[in-house]
């Protein structure tokens, strides 16, 4: 009953947020500050945005989430400083029972997600509960992250795999050498 009340409270606030003009920056930021467990300086979230509770979301400074970000925060989700999230990205902490009888009975658990500092999560990425992504990493577009990703790497695919460590070319924005 308490969880249902908390979810409904979040959904009402999200409805107002998603229907507030982007030009009303201070009002939108105030709503996110009321929704999230903690958020640092310089935060911007594009509409539409969705989450379960909001109170389990913790973000550092310079947090950006593009359109259609979905954060199912049944467990804690922590974002470091300078995290960029592309469009259509999902963070899913809930895990339903594999056994159909347990699933039908409503059994569910949730596992936390931790994102380090200076991480870029490109568009269309899915990250499941129990995953940690290390600082200074990039998750390529369309990836499905089902296990931990170390710091300082480019990872992509389904399931996401480390492609390589970040290198000097990355400072120039060349993720792939096309020459």
- Whether the CB-CB separation of 59 and 38 falls below 8 Å is answered with yes
Here the tokens at position 148 are 């931990």
CB-side exposure of 160: number of CA atoms within 13 Å?
A: 30
| Backbone φ/ψ region at 118: left (φ over 0), alpha (ψ -120 to 50), beta | left
Rounded-to-integer distance, Cα 73 and Cα 78, Å: 10
CB-side exposure of 49: number of CA atoms within 13 Å?
A: 30
Q: Which residues are catalytic?
A: 96
């Amino acid at each position: 009953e308490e969880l249902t009340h908390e979810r409904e409270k979040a959904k009402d606030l999200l409805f107002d947020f998603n229907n507030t003009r982007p030009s009303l920056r201070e009002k939108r930021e105030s709503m996110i500050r009321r929704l999230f467990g903690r958020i640092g300086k310089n935060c911007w979230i594009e509409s539409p945005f969705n989450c379960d509770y909001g109170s389990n979301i913790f973000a550092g400074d310079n947090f950006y989430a593009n359109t259609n970000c979905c954060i199912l925060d049944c467990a804690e989700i922590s974002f470091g400083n300078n995290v960029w999230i592309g469009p259509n990205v999902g963070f899913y902490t809930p895990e339903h029972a594999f056994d159909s009888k347990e699933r039908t009975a409503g059994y569910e658990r949730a596992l936390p997600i931790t994102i380090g500092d200076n991480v870029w999560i490109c568009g269309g990425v899915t990250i499941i509960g129990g995953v940690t992504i290390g600082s200074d990493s990039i998750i390529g577009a369309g990836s499905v992250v089902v296990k931990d990703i170390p710091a300082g790497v480019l990872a992509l695919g389904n399931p996401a795999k480390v492609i390589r460590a970040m290198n000097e070319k990355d400072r120039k924005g060349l993720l792939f050498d096309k020459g």
